[in-house]
Chain A
Amino acid sequence: MVDLMSILLIIPLLGCMFALFARKNDVNAFYVTIFTIVSDMAVLLCLLPNVVRIGGDAVNGWTYQWLMPMNVELSFGADVFSMLLLLGVYLALLIGLVGLLPQQRKSKSLLLSTLYFAWCMTGFLTARDMLSFYIFFAGMVPPLVMSVGNFGNVRKMSSLYVFFALCFVGALMLLTATLVIYRFNHGNIGLLEIALIRMPKYAALVVWIGVCAAFLSRIPIWPLHHWFSLVCGGIKNPLVYIIFNLMPLTGIYGFMRFWQLTVPESAEVFLPIMTTFGVLTMLFAAFIGISHKDFLPKLFSYSAVYYLLFLLVIVLLDTKYAQNIAYSLFIFLIVNATLTVSELWSENACAESKCDYRGILAYMPKLSKVFAFFVLVAVGLPISSMFWNNFVLISALFKENFAAGIGVMTAITLIGMGIMFELFMMRSLPENIDSEVWVEDISDKQTAFFMAIVVLLFLSFFDPLWFVF
């Protein structure tokens, strides 16, 4: 367990080193990245049975005695929740890598950013103490800024700065909370022990505000949603889009870890405000999604709605439904990544063959099948474990707060209708087929890859952890 956990953290760093020294203008770095991600997934799959056997409790894995005289020991561990999210992140990144166009595969800076981001995500999701949690949370800022700045067509300094500020403010807020905790504990502390620290009310409030603001800065909740859409609008690289879309996951995970630990009684008055903002943003995002004519903004709205659903569940229901959230998020990450890649492929095919975007899937039967399956999973049809788990989460939400439940259900229905309609528009319509137009479909290898993921999702309907032996 200890060794596997350290290997899990070291592999992405090694990958970074190999990718850095790979030949320029070649696909070596691309294969190194794929190999690194797959290797880490293999290690993760070796770790999972141990974690599942122990159950919901966190398993302490590896500690690094960083600064012993200053009482700073970085500890890493795992539970089912974090392991599933990590697996979801790796799969999403792998899908993004497969979705890269041949020219994009030669970009070393993108691949380096991806590996570095994967390392930070691994550290963040396995961190078991405050300082390492902060280090990896803030450590994500450089790869996010570099990849979005480089490949997100953020040419305006103002948009780039808004994105940077968004990430950086979050990091600084968490730093403030860390410093206050450090001040009262005289050293580093495990995440689960934070609730045991005795601190004055004002200090507890500062910690709560810092932690909340840090995680909210990563979630597209009002008024931050506009900044998110501003940046994501220009991203045309599937991998960068997926990395950008993983940002809210860090916020959700942060809330999951901290919510029950840090909320002081005095801060509970903010709870209804947060719920209202969450539901209103969900409805707003759903309406925006419907009004857009392109699939990518709809997908962004879809992911915003679902991330907010998970946030509301955590805020209103504590961590009682952690397992369900983990299962649902795992499928959600994969579906989101696949839809992003499929959409960008079809957009690229349109641009190359100069045909109409409407009905493009009629010329690409293989992609059409993949696309249709994932859209159906996304809207919540009973073909993956997402159906069961969302059912459990939404019904619990209804039970806790009926008005919020109505709002959430409306938003989910609206955005589901929106992407279903988009699928209908993009799929084969006989009158659209032009025999003179030739569009290159996805390759057999890519089809096989996505079919494997289809199988993974479908089997999860019967047992969400069927791949754990």
Chain B
Amino acid sequence: MIEGLVYFSPLLIAIIAVLILMFGEHEEDEQYRCFRFSRVMMLISFALAVIFYNKPPITGLSDGSSFALVFELLLYAGGFVLLYLSRRWFAAMHRLAYVFCGCLFMSLLFGYLLISSYNLALTAVSIIMICISNYILLKDSDNQREISFGTRLYLLLTFVCMFMLVGASVLLYHRCGALDYEVLRLYFELNKDSAETFVLATMMILPFLFLLGLAPLHFCVAESLGKATLPVFAYLMLMPITAVWGGFIQLNVSMLTPVLPLFRLFYIAIALASVGIGAVGACSGQNIRKIFGYASVYHFGIAFLTLRRFTPNAINASCVYLFAYLLAMFGICACLFGLKKKGEYLFMLSEFEGAAQKRPYISVMMVIFMFSLLGLPPFIGFLGLFSALNYLALHHHYYQLLYLLTTMLVLGYAYLQIIKVLCFEERKTSFDRVDRGIYTAILLNAVLMAILILQPHYWLEDVKPLLETVLQ
């Protein structure tokens, strides 16, 4: 009992933080205290998670593996980054951050559980709770009186996800009497040709695809990102993605392996559609957050295309691509936090005109991050892209390779549009003074990227054995 409680302690800290932040009584002048409290709680939770990294947080329902540890570390890193950057936004906008920080902890808590889950019930609860915390944040970021169409749609799809996951869990429990991944894997092995199995597996996969924002479920996430506030935008681009990606790999490798051949074509179609729609969608917008929203659909499409076989090399290649994406996207978010006019954070592309003249360092770094996302050497994205494309070439998927390279040209247009506005246009208005913390965050990111590009074995080779533990 005590042993279990000790292993559960990282999550217990997160639960306490959620309860205090969401349901405690707060005063308006406690802005900084909220962030300080969140940072301390996250630090304690992180320390405990590292100490008990190989122990299951909930005995019998989850497992502690090196694979889970990698994603948990990314999750915590995302959490720290968001707390660090968002503090500035909430201070500048004079808004209370309790809901935001509470949701951040909620996402961390259920993300952690999702990554280490070995039980469908726990997975379903985690997914539903992540969806709910996303919805709360989107609702909070909307105008208080009016909830946008995108947010309502998000709620509707959350209900659909809930229905599918609960439905699948109930049906599988009815059939197998347990919801452990191992038991369910056996069930899928024995019934892999039946239509019911296919439907049940689909019901489990679709919520993941929705949370990853892959096509054709992308529209809701991309629309919501376009209207979300900057902290919520950064949160949606960095945090749930990490957890869901880890959970999705775990689900497929531990439970759905017998039926994976049935889904291979479906996965390819989803990935290719995401790549195409992401690239075209990014070109059609004028809202910078929407552009990056669609761009993320494109990048997840590539990672998904690489992942679809769930072999050790596929998992490694897709994770390398994902890490490169996360690093570059974190940099872009930090840059967006640094560009504001008259206290307002910028949405539309036209508002960024001539930013390079006033904020050269931030603009240059943003350009570098975008080139990195495009996979141009010698930036870190090149290694991610090379890893993913090399995997496709090794398996003779030349048409898919050609398709990816063609769509990359389309995505290049979207990024070039941003680069043109940032660097080549004349400045029309002034930009506000930038907090030094933003420069620090960007510099740290640049240094990290430089280290990883000069010594890539840290993340290409040393992480590989850790990721492979998911297959054992």
Whether a CB of chain B sits under 8 angstroms from the CB of A160 is yes
Whether B393 pairs with A180 at a CB distance below 8 angstroms is: yes
B419 contacts A109, C-beta separation under 8 Å: no
Q: Are B367 and A142 in contact (CB under 8 A)?
A: yes
Contact of B460 among A70, A146, A161 (CB under 8 A): A70
* A334 at interface, CB cutoff 8 A: no
Q: How far is the CB of A111 from chain B (nearest CB, A)?
A: 12
Shortest B204–chain A CB gap in Å is: 34
State A175–B364 Cα separation when bound (angstroms): 25
Q: Which chain B residues (325-343) contact chain A, with CB distance < 8 Å?
A: none
Min CB–CB distance A431 → chain B (angstroms):
43
Q: A109 to chain B: closest CB distance in Å? A: 7
Query: Could you tell me if B461 and A69 are in contact, using CB atoms closer than 8 angstroms?
Result: yes
Which residues of the partner chain B approach A176 to less than 8 Å between Cβ atoms?
A: 401-402, 405
Q: Does A77 contact B (CB under 8 A)?
A: no
Choose among B378, B405, B408 the residue that contacts A135 (Cβ–Cβ < 8 A): B378
Known contacts: A69-B457, A108-B360. The answer to whether A150 contacts B378 by CB under 8 A is no
Residue B420 is within 8 A (CB to CB) of chain A in the complex: yes
Interchain CB contact under 8 A, B420 and A67: no
Q: Is the CB of A175 within 8 A of B360?
A: no
Docked complex: A109-164 residues within 8 A CB-CB of B: 109, 134-136, 138-139, 141-142, 145-146, 149-150, 154-155, 157, 160-161, 164
Instruction: Please determine whether B456 and A66 come into contact, CB atoms closer than 8 angstroms.
Output: yes
Q: Is A171's CB within 8 Å of the partner chain B?
A: yes
Q: Is B286 an interface residue (CB 8 A)?
A: no
Q: In angstroms, how far is the closest chain B Cβ from the Cβ of A119? A: 9
From A139, A160, A179, contact of B389 by CB (8 A): A179
Residue A160 contacts which of B398, B409, B416 (CB distance < 8 angstroms)?
A: B416
| A350 at interface, CB cutoff 8 A | no
Tell me which residues across on chain B come within 8 A of A154, comparing CB atoms. 424
Determine the distance from Cα of A150 to Cα of B423 in the docked complex, in whole angstroms. 7
Give, as a whole number of angstroms, the nearest-CB distance from A205 to chain B: 12
Beta-carbon contact of B360 and A183 below 8 Å = no
Whether B456 pairs with A179 at a CB distance below 8 angstroms is no
B245 contacts partner chain A, Cβ-Cβ < 8 Å? no
A43 within 8 A of B: no
A134 to B461, CA, bound (A): 22
**Complex partner residue of B377 from A69, A134, A146, A206, CB under 8 angstroms:** A134
Cβ of A312 to closest chain B Cβ, rounded Å: 29
Chain B residues in 8 Å Cβ range of A157? 416-417, 420
Q: CA–CA, A108 to B378, complex, Å?
A: 21
A169 touches B376 (CB 8 A): no
A165 at the interface (CB under 8 A from B): yes
* Cβ-neighbour of A139 out of B374, B377, B394, B405 (below 8 A): B377
Q: Does any Cβ of B come within 8 Å of A182's Cβ?
A: yes
A149 engages B424 (CB within 8 Å): yes
- Which A residues lie within 8 Å of B405 (CB)? 172, 175-176
Q: Which residues of A contact B424 (CB under 8 A)?
A: 149-150, 154-155, 160
**Mask for B361-395, Cβ within 8 A of A = 1, else 0?**
00010011001001011100010001001100110
Chain B, 17-74, CB within 8 A of any chain A CB: none
Residue of A nearest to B406 (CB): A172
> Which parts of A174-188 form the interface with B (CB within 8 Å)?
175-176, 179-180, 182-183
Q: Which residues of A contact B371 (CB under 8 A)?
A: 141-142
Question: Is B356 on the interface with A (CB-CB < 8 A)?
Answer: yes
CB-CB under 8 A from B389, the residues of chain A are 175, 179
Contact assessment for B376 and A138 in the assembled complex, using a CB-CB cutoff below 8 Å: yes
* Centre residue among A142, A165, A169, A182 by max chain B CB count within 10 A: A142
Q: Interface residues, chain B, CB within 8 Å of chain A?
A: 356, 360, 364, 367-368, 371, 374, 376-378, 382, 386, 389-390, 393-394, 398, 401-402, 405, 408-409, 412-413, 416-417, 419-420, 423-424, 456-457, 460-461
**Known contacts A109-B356, A138-B382, A157-B420, then 4 further A-B pairs from the complex at CB < 8 Å, ordered by chain A residue:** A67-B461, A155-B424, A164-B416, A179-B389
Complex A-B: 23 CB contacts under 8 Å: A109-B360, A135-B377, A138-B376, A138-B382, A139-B376, A142-B371, A142-B376, A146-B367, A149-B419, A149-B420, A157-B417, A160-B416, A160-B424, A161-B413, A168-B374, A168-B412, A172-B405, A172-B409, A179-B389, A180-B393, A182-B393, A183-B390, A206-B398
Q: Which 7 residue pairs across A and B have the least CB separation, nearest first?
A: A135-B377, A179-B393, A183-B393, A149-B424, A172-B405, A69-B461, A139-B377
